[in-house]
């Protein structure tokens, strides 16, 4: 398999973009575009009230030329104003129907308790073909909450082959099988023992052992927080670490890629050849660093574009190491927030984090982290094997 490493430059921090746009607004306060761009960056910064003000100013400055309907709708949704979000989407789709606006309209309708209308909006977004993944995710989540899994299974099986091959659809198909009592088939797709592999890391000799390596890597990660605002308190995910080309990161990345290749070589022995599409001919190596504190957790999720996912634990709080409970654990298989409280037949496996160990699993496996309940940082590096577009087993990005 051929690895493709992204060469893109780290994104400009929102704070820098905001400063530049403020200068543009000072010069062109009566124009629409600078205000709309200002709103876009404020959304990225998580300041939705200020973003709403910026979008409303942009629309007042040029009512006929305003096009930032998606950002306006997102701001309303984040401020728990679904009726206003729906109105913004309706005005935008009258100008030019777009999958993103239809998807946001569906989210607003769902918040208003109009699930049937929301579903139709998501279906309409899928029909447009572009930017469909968000609508597909929302539609799958709606169907997964139905006690009868037959409609969800029929929907998954009726999708085109490239979509059926994605981790996103596999994850929800497994839920449908469990809902229908077809446990043997569901457990074939989600096997929390056979499909999960743990591997210790032995760093190159120049690092002086794994403990010293982890201390060095933790220092680099903690000194390089994400330029984006946190998703919630206690969590920092950096998708473009500035130090990703440091000696420590490069050594770890080489190990993680090698471990993924070994994992694929064991696919038949672990029953994964009957679950996953054929391995891709080429793949991207996508990584991020994650720092969790106190109540911080990722939330139940999968990696929808991935094929194989992995987590390397760099630094674990002492209280987590000493505890005889699940605090700080990697929780595999949990997805009740996606099913309306239903627990599938495979249950949950709690993996106690150990510094220096890598855990690998298929990307369609739902997972989360149990909060560590301490201000000491829990540091990890996450990596995915993402099939490139149009490769065997790959998916449209």
Q: Is the predicted pLDDT of residue 6 greater than 70, yes or no?
A: no
User: What is the distance between the alpha carbons of residues 128 and 71, in angstroms, rounded to a whole number?
Assistant: 20
Q: Which of 147-151, 244-248, 285-289 has the lowest mean pLDDT?
A: 244-248
- The closest alpha carbon to 279, from 314, 254, 306, belongs to 306
Half-sphere exposure of 284 (CA within 13 A, CB side): 16
Amino acid 282: pLDDT: 95
Q: What is the secondary structure of 341-392 as a DSSP string?
A: T---TT--EEE---TTEEEEEETTS-EEE----SSS-EEEEEEEEEEPTTST
The Cβ of residue 226 has, within 10 Å, a number of other Cβ atoms equal to 19
Q: Is the predicted pLDDT of residue 393 greater than 50, yes or no?
A: no
User: What is the distance between the alpha carbons of residues 227 and 220, in angstroms, rounded to a whole number?
Assistant: 15
User: What is the distance between the alpha carbons of residues 292 and 233, in angstroms, rounded to a whole number?
Assistant: 9
Quote the mean pLDDT of the chain: 91
Q: Is the predicted pLDDT of residue 227 greater than 90, yes or no?
A: no
Tell me what the mean pLDDT of segment 336-341 comes to.
96
Q: What is the DSSP letter of 224?
A: S
Overall size of the chain counted in residues: 397
Question: What are the residue boundaries of the structural domains of the chain, listed by start?
Answer: 2-160, 197-387
User: What is the distance between the alpha carbons of residues 102 and 134, in angstroms, rounded to a whole number?
Assistant: 10
Amino acid 24: pLDDT: 81
- The closest alpha carbon to 327, from 353, 290, 301, 349, belongs to 353
Tell me what the mean pLDDT of segment 61-88 comes to.
96
Q: What is the pTM for the complete model shown? A: 0.89
User: What is the distance between the alpha carbons of residues 323 and 319, in angstroms, rounded to a whole number?
Assistant: 6
User: What is the distance between the alpha carbons of residues 243 and 235, in angstroms, rounded to a whole number?
Assistant: 19
Which class in CATH covers the domain with range 197-387? Answer: mainly beta
| Structure confidence at residue 41 as a pLDDT band (50, 70, 90) | confident
- The closest alpha carbon to 219, from 317, 354, 315, 294, belongs to 315
Pairing of strands 197-200, 349-351: unpaired
User: What is the distance between the alpha carbons of residues 268 and 11, in angstroms, rounded to a whole number?
Assistant: 40
What is the per-residue pLDDT across 295-314, written as a single tens digit (0 to 9) for each? 999 899 999 999 999 999 99
The CATH code for residues 2-160 is 1.25.40.10
Q: Is the predicted pLDDT of residue 1 greater than 50, yes or no?
A: yes
Amino acid 177: pLDDT: 98
Alpha helical stretches, state H, 159-242: 161-164, 167-179, 183-189, 210-222
Q: Is the predicted pLDDT of residue 257 greater than 80, yes or no?
A: yes
- The closest alpha carbon to 103, from 63, 130, 66, belongs to 130
CB-based contact 152:140 (threshold 8 Å) = yes
What is the per-residue pLDDT across 142-177, written as a single tens digit (0 to 9) for each? 999 999 999 999 999 999 898 999 999 999 999 999
Tell me what the mean pLDDT of segment 329-348 comes to.
97
Q: 324 φ, ψ to 5°?
A: -105, 25
């Amino acid at each position: 398999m051929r690895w493709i490493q992204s060469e893109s430059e780290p994104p400009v921090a929102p704070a820098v973009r905001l400063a530049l746009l403020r200068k543009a607004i000072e010069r062109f306060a009566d124009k629409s575009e600078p205000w709309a761009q200002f709103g876009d960056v404020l959304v990225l910064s998580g300041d939705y009230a200020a973003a709403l003000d910026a979008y409303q100013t942009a629309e007042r400055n040029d009512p006929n030329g305003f096009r930032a309907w998606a950002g306006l709708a997102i701001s309303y949704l984040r401020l728990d104003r679904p009726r206003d979000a729906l109105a913004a989407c309706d005005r935008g789709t009258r100008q030019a129907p777009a999958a993103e606006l239809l998807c946001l309209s569906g989210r607003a309708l769902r918040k208003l308790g109009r699930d049937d209308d929301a579903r139709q909006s998501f279906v309409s977004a899928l029909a447009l073909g572009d930017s469909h993944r968000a609508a597909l995710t929302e539609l799958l989540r709606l169907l997964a909450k139905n006690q009868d899994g037959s409609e969800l299974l029929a929907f998954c099986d009726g999708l085109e082959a490239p979509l059926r091959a994605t981790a996103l659809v596999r994850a929800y198909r497994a839920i449908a099988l469990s809902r229908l009592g077809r446990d043997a088939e569901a457990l074939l797709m989600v096997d929390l023992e056979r499909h999960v592999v743990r591997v210790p890391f032995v760093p190159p000799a120049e690092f002086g052992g794994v403990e010293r390596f982890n201390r060095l890597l933790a220092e680099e990660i903690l000194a390089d927080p994400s330029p984006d605002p946190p998703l919630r308190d206690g969590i920092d995910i950096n998708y473009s670490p500035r130090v990703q080309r440091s000696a420590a990161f490069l050594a770890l990345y080489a190990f993680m890629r090698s471990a993924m290749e070994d994992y694929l070589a064991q696919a038949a022995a672990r029953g994964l050849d009957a679950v996953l599409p054929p391995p891709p001919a080429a793949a991207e190596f996508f990584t991020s660093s994650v720092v969790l504190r106190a109540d911080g957790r990722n939330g139940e999720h999968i990696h929808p574009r991935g094929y194989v996912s992995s987590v390397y634990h760099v630094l674990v709080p002492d209280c987590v190491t000493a505890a005889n409970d699940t605090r700080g654990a990697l929780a595999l298989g949990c997805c009740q927030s996606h099913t309306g409280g239903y627990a599938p037949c495979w249950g949950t496996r709690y993996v106690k984090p150990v510094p220096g160990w890598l855990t690998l699993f298929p990307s369609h496996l739902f997972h989360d982290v149990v909060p560590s309940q301490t201000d000491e940082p829990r540091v990890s590096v996450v990596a995915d094997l993402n099939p490139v577009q149009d490769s065997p087993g790959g998916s449209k990005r």
